[in-house]
Amino acid sequence: MHALQALRIENIDLLIKATYSFGYMFETITLKPDEQPMIDFSYMNPTNVRWAGEDGGVRSVKATKARRQQFFNMRELHSDTFNYPMRDINLGTSVEAAAQATVDLAWDLQHKINTEQFNFLQGGTINGMNYGTGIYFPFVTAGTLLNRTFIAHPSIQTANLPTTNLINYTALQVYGQTDNAMSFYVLQAIIDYCEGFRGVFRDGDLEPTGLILVPSSETSGLLKRVNPVGTISTKVGETVLNSFTQIEYGGRVWTLLGTPVLPKGACYPILNKKVGNFYVKPSLDFEDVTSHKLKNYEERTTVKVMQLAQIEPWRPNGLKVVYSNAAGAGTVTTND
């Protein structure tokens, strides 16, 4: 016993975890127990203004209010049921506390929410589940008016407007991209995308926040483009050498947030407007604990009520930049 008491025990947890959040891109809305999320959207009619003679002759048009509502049903997110013994009749130790320490239900639940948000934006088949089309594809500018991404006023030169929120490697080549790495061309493309919508939206301009989610193994892409040998010729180059994850470029401070859960070859700029809604009902969340003292075990499950919602006019608020031409760049098929 003296020998055992002299041992110094160091516990090693082999599980590695990744911290990331696509919650930056969603507006969290807390609902009451009896509320159901519904989005009502329409569009204003442009009015022509013309020269007229003294005799009048003004044209008249009928203004119609086109509307469409979309309802979203809430869903329950369940953790696995965790079973553990309640007592140790030999040593009298707190087996229950030790067993609970081997899992982190709160972290696992939040991680699952982050994963669902990411998959919701990506679309396609992930973990064997079909997440639909996602949000990263060309904008809808033709067909039924209420189904379009936006309706351009007749005065707008539509060639100035971005046509998609998915910037691929071919588009970056126009800027000068020649390799499969995070580059300053990505920052230029992000700026140009937002500037293309300058003065367009009634609720204010679309702007980069400067935060970019990047695969962790490719966070140092900007650093690889700066030659540390010899005289530093630019202020930007000096900034990158000092901190390759936070630099000043184009009048903005850019922060590259690396995470190992993202597929290589693509990054996700966080813009100043939300791409969707994250509905929650905290009053209906619960943790179920069932004790079986005679059988000496306890069960614990965590449940969260939530739903993700996204409509076509919000898609420009989300942007994905694929800076690699490698097969499958920026594509994810599993991320449990």
Q: Picking from 27-31, 185-189, 245-249, which range would have the lowest pLDDT averaged per residue?
A: 245-249
Of 2-16, 130-144, 238-252, highest mean pLDDT: 130-144
pLDDT in tens, 293-310: 888 888 888 899 999 999
| Closest to 332 measured CA to CA, from 15, 33, 22, 6 | 22
* Residues 159-186, mean pLDDT to the nearest whole number: 96
pTM of the shown model: 0.83
Q: How many angstroms separate the Cα of 104 from the Cα of each of 10, 314, 318?
A: 20, 34, 31
pLDDT at res. 1: 45
Q: What angle do CA 134, 273, 329 make, to 5 degrees?
A: 40
pLDDT in tens, 310-326: 999 999 999 999 999 99
* Residues 24-33, mean pLDDT to the nearest whole number: 93
Match 């100043």 to its residue by tokens: 272
pLDDT in tens, 122-161: 999 999 999 999 999 999 999 988 889 999 988 999 999 9
Q: Picking from 4-13, 14-23, 256-265, which range would have the lowest pLDDT averaged per residue?
A: 4-13
pLDDT in tens, 254-286: 999 999 889 999 999 999 999 999 999 999 999
pLDDT of 76 > 90? The answer is yes
More confident residue, 240 or 150: 150
With contact defined as beta carbons under 8 Å apart, do 249 and 187 qualify? Answer: yes
Task: Collapse the DSSP code of 225 into the 3-class scheme (helix H, G, I; strand E, B; otherwise coil) and give the result.
Answer: helix
* Residues 187-206, mean pLDDT to the nearest whole number: 95
pLDDT at res. 125: 95
pLDDT over 70 percentage in the chain? 79
Residue 25 DSSP class: G
With contact defined as beta carbons under 8 Å apart, do 166 and 178 qualify? Answer: no
